[in-house]
Every structure is written in structure tokens, then in C-alpha cells.
Amino acid sequence: MATPTERLENWDEFEIGAVLKSFDENGNYSRDHSKTYKVADWRVEKPVFNRDICIDCDMCWVACPDSCFIVEEVVNKRGKKQANIVGIDYDHCKGCAVCVEVCPTPIKSLLMFPEFEDNNNALANWPKKEKKDK
């Protein structure tokens, strides 16, 4: 990832009208697209995703301000298209915790952990279901 200062060209190398092209000739994201820029250093806490508890309601997908939820398109039992959450794009997550707030499962399938915590470690320490006292 080139820093913006390294990327800046001389005045006679600008494209006319300062046009930025999102895609290159092959249809991939070009170097001008912000997908190639990382904002990961903004966050102090990161969300960790627990696939075992997730019910694929996709509330986190719609509420994420940074389009960080990677979805996979599958066809469900009724033959309809459906998006399953696969994981989190940690390059673009800013750690706002909106996804954790909107997660509807009784034990959240998304929780915030400190940035240095290992993901596998976090999954092992996931809160367990509390047994009800009768």
C-alpha cells in the first residue's frame, strides 16, 4: 500500500479533471480505489465472529458502515438466494462495534476483543450459555 504522499504525482502527470478510475482494464479494483487502502490502524478493539452461533440474519451486513462483512451467496432449501456471513474484512474495519449492538442472538455471535488478542483464543473464551436456576 503506497501512502498518499508517495502516490501524488506532479502537476503535469494528473489525469485531466482529476479523474480517478475505480476499476482497471481487467475489471479489478485499481490502485485508485479505497479498497486498496487500509484503515485497520484506526481501531483499538476488533470484532470477532463466531460462525457456530451465527444464524445468518445479515443484520451486521446491513448495519456495517464500512462494508466489512464478507458474504457468500448460497441457495437455501426453498431454492432462494441467501447470503451467509463468512468473515470480517479486518483491513477496513474501524472497530465501531455497531455490528455487536445489532447482533440478535441470545449469546452474541459477534463480540469485541482487544486488538492484540488472537482470534482462536477469543473463540475459545467465548461466553457460555448460562443455565437457568429452577
Partner 1 sequence: MKNIGNLKEFATTPDRFQGGHRLCPGCAHSIIVREVVNATEDDIVVSTATGCLEVCSSIYPYTSWDVSWLHIGFENAAAGISGAEAMYKALKRKGKLPVDKPAKFLAFGGDGGTYDIGFQSLSGAAERGHDFMYVCLDNEGYMNTGGQRSSATPVGAHTTTSPRGRISYGEKNWKKDLTMIMSHHGCPYVATAVPSKWKDLATKAAKGFDTEGPVFLNTLSPCTTEWKFDPADTIMISDLAVDSCVFPLYEIENGTKLTITYRPKNKIPVRDYLGAQGRFSHLFKKGNEHLIDAWQKHTDEYWEYLQRREEAGV
Least Cβ distance, residue 27 to partner 1 (angstroms): 11
Q: Is residue 130 near partner 1 by the rule CB under 8 A?
A: no
Please name the amino acid found at residue 57: C
Of the pair 115, 130, the CB lying nearest partner 1 is at 115
54 binds partner 1 (CB under 8 A): no
Phi, then psi, of 93 in degrees rounded to 5: -75, 135
Amino acid at 40: A
Report whether 101 contacts 111 (CB < 8 A). Answer: no
Q: Which stretch of DSSP H or E encloses residue 63?
A: helix 59-63
Helix (H) / strand (E) element for 75: namely strand 69-75
Q: Does 33 bind partner 1 (CB under 8 A)?
A: yes
Closer residue to partner 1 in complex, CB, 82/119: 82
- List residues binding partner 1 (CB under 8 A): 4, 7-8, 18, 20, 22-23, 32-39, 42-43, 56-59, 61-68, 71, 73, 76, 80-83, 89, 91-98, 100-102
